[in-house]
Amino acid sequence: MKPATAASAVKVQVALGPAYQVLEFEASTRTAADAAAAIGCTVAQIAKSLVFRAETSGRAVLVVASGVNRVDEAKVGAILGEKISRADADFVRLKTGFAIGGVPPLAHAEPSPTLIDDALFAFAEIWAAAGTPNAVFRLTPDDLLRLTGGIRASIAR
């Protein structure tokens, strides 16, 4: 592991500021399981960023979920007041500026509503993607809430 050097990871580091450190790993951190193995934490401590498309407005919706949880799209839709569906790779890149597998919870090209999985608050520290498929950063669930301006919600199936 080393400090961020890839352009997308450096972009996340700049957005985070000096209080956090974006780390790049030799191994992939693309999936929650890959990230947990590289970091040495549990899969549940991985804050995976999932981008959905709101069906009526067409806006991006970011859901940050625990790595072990599946998102209940009906719950998210009820909170937002409109149905959502999975976004394709082109939509994710257009709305966030990042490719699937490295989408961080912040520094997106366009702001979007953000929901944060209640389950993440069971941990003192969590890890989130930082712009590339092998970059992550450590933070607390409360930091995540503050940095994203998100809403804490029960969104797991």
Residues 83-100 have pLDDT tens digits of 999 999 999 999 999 999
- Strand-pair partners of 138: 127
The yes-or-no verdict on residue 135 having pLDDT over 90 is: yes
Does pLDDT of 50 surpass 90? yes
Question: What was the pLDDT predicted at 157?
Answer: 93
Mean pLDDT of 59-83: 97
pLDDT at 47 (0 to 100): 97
* CATH code (residue 54): 3.90.960.10
d(CA 140, CA 121): 8
Tokens for 83?
């149905």
pLDDT at 146 over 90: yes
Report in angstroms the alpha-carbon separations of 18 from 10, 21, 30, 50, 94: 12, 7, 24, 25, 27
- Quote the pLDDT of residue 25: 92
Q: And the tokens for 150?
A: 């998100």
Say if residues 147 and 94 touch (Cβ distance below 8 Å): no
Position 28 pLDDT exceeds 90? no
Which tokens go with 125?
């520290």
Q: What is the pTM of this model?
A: 0.95
Number of domains in the chain: 1
Q: How confident is the model at residue 1, as a pLDDT?
A: 82
d(Cα 130, Cα 98) in Å, to the nearest integer?
9
Report how far residue 130's alpha carbon sits from residue 105's, in angstroms, rounded to the nearest whole number: 8
Structural domain boundaries enclosing 62: 2-153
Task: Tell me the pLDDT of the chain averaged across its residues.
Answer: 96
Mean pLDDT of 122-147: 97
Could you tell me the pLDDT band of residue 27, with boundaries at 50, 70 and 90? confident
CA distance 95 to 2: 28
| Amino acid 30: pLDDT | 84
Give pLDDT, residue 3. 86
The pLDDT value given to residue 4: 86
